[in-house]
Structure 1
Amino acid sequence: MEHYRKLERMYLSANFNKEIYQSTTIHIEEEQATIQLTIEPKYFHALGAIHGSVYFKLLDDAAFFAVNSVVNDVFVLTTNFNINLVRPISEGTITAIGKVKFKSRNLFIAESSLVNEDGKEIAFGTGHFAKSKVLLTEEIGYK
């Protein structure tokens, strides 16, 4: 579906992702988004494993884009997101999988899980999302 491809291009063209998360890939389908990141030392904290902010970003982004897959007209906003860090990781590729769990006219809830190459969960999260007033247009990268 073209909506999913436009969301993928929007994600990959965001300045933050182009500058910091260059090894990221994303795939969006109905009510689900999958994001992969190859681990690099630039994501590490002082103990040599990925910083919690990386976990948060991947989990939030996967849940966010799962929700925006079912919202075709406007950009959604994260209103709340909670994460649980299960184990550290310092090498390989990690995958965040976000899925819509609840949707109504004004509220969406999505869960996401972050796994290593062996499919072992390293973190998970749940978020609440709401529609914004920002239209999905080329000006925000939706093209």
Structure 2
Amino acid sequence: METEQHYSALENLYHSANIQSTISGSSIKISHSHSEITLPVAPAYFHGANAMHGALYFKLLDDAAYFAAASVVKDVFIVTSSFQLNLLRPVTGGMVKAVGKLKSQGKNLYIAEATLYNDKGKEVAFGTGQFMRTNQPLKSLEGYVDKV
């Protein structure tokens, strides 16, 4: 698969995941060693103190770092093997953007970082993840298709 088609197929894989049905309005853009995910913040994502739950911070940062790493892996599915999350400030509305960047790649291990920004461009969280190759071919995944 050509590089641009790979990015498009990964974007489709992101949107086709069952977990996405619980999150409304997210978008993703993938390029070489980089990804950006945006999400409008909805009250449905709030914890008891009316701010976005940490589970959403984790998901956005993990996904952004994951797809930055996956952008360079064209043959098999990769999985998160560890992720370190740092929460800096609450988000109570607006739009958030997670930016992922691949930092290091080896034969089987990829390290990527991601930063989450609020709609004022202020950093609200960041994280670093490790991602490992599996034996599952990308072409075997139903959602990994280029729809462009």
Pick the TM interval, shorter chain.
Answer: over 0.9
Question: d(CA) in 2 for partners of 1:107 and 1:130?
Answer: 5
- The corresponding residue for 1:12 is 15
Question: d(CA) in 1 for partners of 2:140 and 2:39?
Answer: 25
Question: d(CA) in 2 for partners of 1:104 and 1:139?
Answer: 24
Q: 2:38 aligns with which of 19, 36, 39?
A: 36
- The corresponding residue for 1:52 is 54
Aligned ranges for residues 1-143 of structure 1 at < 5 Å? 1-17=4-20, 19-137=21-139, 139-143=141-145
Deviations 1:16-59 (A, max 9, x none): 10x11121000000000100000000100000000000000000
Question: d(CA) in 2 for partners of 1:121 and 1:53?
Answer: 17
Question: d(CA) in 2 for partners of 1:138 and 1:8?
Answer: 16
What's the secondary structure of 2:9's corresponding residue? helix
Question: d(CA) in 2 for partners of 1:38 and 1:138?
Answer: 32
What's the secondary structure of 1:49's corresponding residue? coil
Question: d(CA) in 1 for partners of 2:66 and 2:141?
Answer: 19
For 2:5, give the aligned amino acid.
Answer: E
Mark the CA change 1:48 to 1:94 in structure 2 (over 3 Å): closer, same or farther: same
For 1:51, give the aligned amino acid.
Answer: H
Question: d(CA) in 2 for partners of 1:115 and 1:104?
Answer: 29
Question: d(CA) in 1 for partners of 2:139 and 2:108?
Answer: 21
Question: 1:138, CA displacement in angstroms?
Answer: 5.4
What's the secondary structure of 1:5's corresponding residue? helix
Question: d(CA) in 2 for partners of 1:107 and 1:75?
Answer: 12
Between the two proteins, the alignment pairs up a number of residues equal to 142
Q: Where does structure 1 lack aligned partners over 5 or more consecutive residues?
A: none
Question: d(CA) in 2 for partners of 1:2 and 1:22?
Answer: 25
Question: d(CA) in 2 for partners of 1:26 and 1:60?
Answer: 13
The percentage of counterpart residues that share the same residue type is: 46
Q: TM-score, normalised by structure 2?
A: 0.94
Question: 1:140, CA displacement in angstroms?
Answer: 3.3
Question: d(CA) in 2 for partners of 1:71 and 1:41?
Answer: 36
After TM superposition, what 4+ stretches of structure 1 lie above 6 angstroms from structure 2? none
